[in-house]
Structure 1
Amino acid sequence: MADETPHHDIKDFRQPMVTSLGIVLGFLLNFLGQWAIDDQQEHQIQSMADWIIVVTFVSAILLMLHVLYRLLNNRYDAATAGVYYHQTFQRYMVAICLSFAGVALALLL
């Protein structure tokens, strides 16, 4: 029978999650930066679709920063480290899904 108890240390999960967050976060910031400095003289956010994309990206970025804080925070209770990691992982997955949804919306709208 496999051990069902959660791991009591999240250090093994930190590095891959921080790396992937850094890559996706860099892509999103680059995307928004390129959008903001486009050569057009008019305002970049013109339609409701643009607002949806911006809100999706900003929400994903804020959630990624929150997840990054939770991953780099070393002041979590060792007794509840498994629960702490699980909650962090759920937020991580929501942030990644939000960012992919934003990219899909940007391509389709």
Structure 2
Amino acid sequence: MLARNLKDIASYRQPMITSLGIIMGFLLNFLAGWATKEDQVSEIHSIADIIVAVTLLPALVLMLLVLYRMLDMRHKVEDVETIYMRTLRLYMTAIIMAFCGVAAALFF
């Protein structure tokens, strides 16, 4: 059963890494356009801007942590499923935080 679990997890690893890379790219592009202007003045002017910064920056940090956990192969075979489930929860948390931050930027 453990060999089957490893095979099942391997089939989810690549799509998770790919989707995470795409979402991180879009977020970094969004932040680059949102946070920098030619006048070199900070773009954080309102509560909505603070909400965007407070959701997107930790979401990016969580995404980096997820990426590290998905690429790290230094764990026991017995722990693979537990590690994957924890990583999946971190992944979903990061994605939800990112979408909430983008929604805050759009609607506030």
For the criterion TM > 0.5, the same-fold answer is: yes
Asked if the contact 1:8/1:81 (under 8 Å) is kept, the reply is yes
Partner in structure 2 of residue 32 of structure 1: 31
Q: CA offset at residue 37 of structure 1?
A: 2.3
Asked if 1:23 is matched to 2:19, the reply is no
SS at match of 1:43: coil
Partner in structure 2 of residue 46 of structure 1: 45
Q: CA offset at residue 41 of structure 1?
A: 5.3
> Of Structure 1 and Structure 2, which has the larger fraction of its residues in helix?
2
RMSD between aligned alpha carbons? 1.7
Task: State which drifts further: 8-17 or 45-54.
Answer: 8-17
Greater relative contact order (Cα < 8 A, sep 6+): 1
Q: CA offset at residue 40 of structure 1?
A: 4.7
Partner in structure 2 of residue 70 of structure 1: 69
Fraction of identical pairs, as percent: 47
CA separation in 2, counterparts of 1:33 and 1:58? 12
Question: Unaligned 5+ residue runs, structure 1?
Answer: none
Question: Unaligned 5+ residue runs, structure 2?
Answer: none
Partner in structure 2 of residue 8 of structure 1: 6
CA separation in 1, counterparts of 2:68 and 2:104? 27
Give the structure-1-normalised TM-score.
Answer: 0.88
Partner in structure 2 of residue 92 of structure 1: 91
